[in-house]
């Protein structure tokens, strides 16, 4: 990276964890790129995918909202979900706008670019692929579960996830962003259904493996029933290694403070518990451990504190 040039930070992922991370990063003096999963198949997103044969817009919509500097009312409109009992019921207006713009421009990625321009988005947002893809999981008992929304409901242990139809082609801009990055961040989120779909494509996995940038994984604070029940921090990392290669992560960001008993009780009802940070095994795996109190204590649900995590990540960029 040349002197006086802003570092290029690429965030990879989807789900609820990625937008939280991006809200903090967008305020830093960096060139920010988001590579977002398009394998979601539930709710409004699933209906649009099936009817229009385009990649899933839901996670993209949330990333656009997180990185936008538009007027609050415009963003509220973009995120509005219809709840009237007609054909629009359950649809998000943002999903419909993305679908419409994909039709107008003839290309899902171009549609995202135009919506991002209208909503004054910080940085670049790329779908990990322009293809309409589906996620499948092979479970430890040998059965295969198809569909991102069905996988956590099976109550079985996941051995491996994969995409169809093959070959799924990554977006060339996504690969270029990874190759040019000064820091690659794997966002927190549903490990197998939000994070893996973005990194298991051959081109993406190869780019991460051979990146000149440091690769940092922001680990989840809580386990997720049906995906990571009983997983420690190193189990999360091992799952990523099993899918895209050993040693592909250089550092891990972990929360190192106890979770309040009342909050734990709420999550226990969902069969979720705090992720145990097994420091010794993480060190044995060759990871640099970046730890701190990184949750937002003002929220009733556990979320990473976007500013705290952003500052931690910024501090490790090789400026």
Per-residue three-class SS string for 23-50 = HHHCCCCCEEEEEECCCCCCHHHHHHHH
Statement: residue 47 has pLDDT above 80 = no
Q: Which of 56, 52, 11 is nearest to 30 (CA)?
A: 11
Which domains can be identified in the chain, with CATH numbers? 8-37+128-315 (3.40.50.10680), 41-123 (no CATH)
pLDDT of residue 2: 47
Digit-coded pLDDT (tens) for 265-316: 888 988 899 999 999 999 999 999 999 888 887 777 788 889 999 999 999 8
Residue pointed to by tokens 């039709």 = 103
Token readout for 304 is: 């990473």
Q: What is the pLDDT of residues 242-252, one digit of tens each?
A: 999 998 999 99
- Name the residue among 250, 249, 254 with its Cα closest to residue 221: 254
Helix 58-67 to helix 93-105 angle (10° resolution) is 100
The tens digit of pLDDT for each residue in 161-201 reads: 999 888 889 999 999 999 999 999 999 999 999 999 999 98
């Amino acid at each position: 990276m040349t002197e006086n040039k802003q570092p290029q930070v690429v965030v990879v992922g989807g789900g609820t964890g990625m937008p939280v991370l991006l809200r903090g990063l967008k305020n830093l003096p960096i060139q920010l790129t988001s590579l977002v999963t398009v394998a979601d198949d539930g709710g409004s997103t699933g209906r649009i995918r099936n009817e229009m044969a385009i990649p899933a817009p839901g996670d993209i919509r949330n990333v656009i909202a997180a990185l936008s500097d538009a007027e609050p009312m415009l963003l509220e409109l973009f995120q509005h979900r219809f709840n009237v009992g007609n054909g629009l019921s359950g649809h998000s207006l943002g999903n419909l706008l993305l679908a419409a713009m994909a039709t107008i421009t003839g290309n899902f990625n171009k549609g995202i670019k135009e919506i991002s321009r209208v909503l004054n988005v910080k940085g670049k947002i790329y779908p990990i692929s322009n293809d309409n893809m589906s996620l499948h999981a092979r479970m430890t008992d040998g059965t295969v579960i198809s569909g991102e929304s069905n996988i956590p409901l099976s109550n079985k242990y996941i051995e491996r996830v994969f995409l169809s139809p093959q070959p799924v082609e990554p977006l060339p801009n996504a690969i270029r962003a990874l190759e040019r990055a000064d820091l690659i961040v794997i966002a927190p989120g549903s490990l197998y259904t939000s994070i893996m779909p973005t990194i298991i494509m051959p081109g993406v996995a190869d780019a991460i493996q051979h990146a000149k940038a440091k690769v940092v994984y922001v680990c989840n604070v809580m386990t997720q029933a049906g995906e990571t029940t009983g997983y420690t921090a190193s189990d999360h990392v091992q799952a990523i290694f099993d899918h895209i290669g050993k040693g592909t992560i250089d550092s891990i960001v972990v929360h190192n403070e106890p979770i309040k008993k009342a909050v734990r009780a709420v999550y226990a009802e969902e069969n979720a518990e705090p992720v145990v940070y097994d420091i010794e095994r993480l060190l044995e795996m060759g990871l640099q451990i970046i730890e701190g109190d990184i949750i937002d204590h003002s929220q009733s649900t556990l979320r990473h504190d976007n500013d705290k995590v952003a500052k931690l990540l910024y501090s490790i960029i090789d400026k």
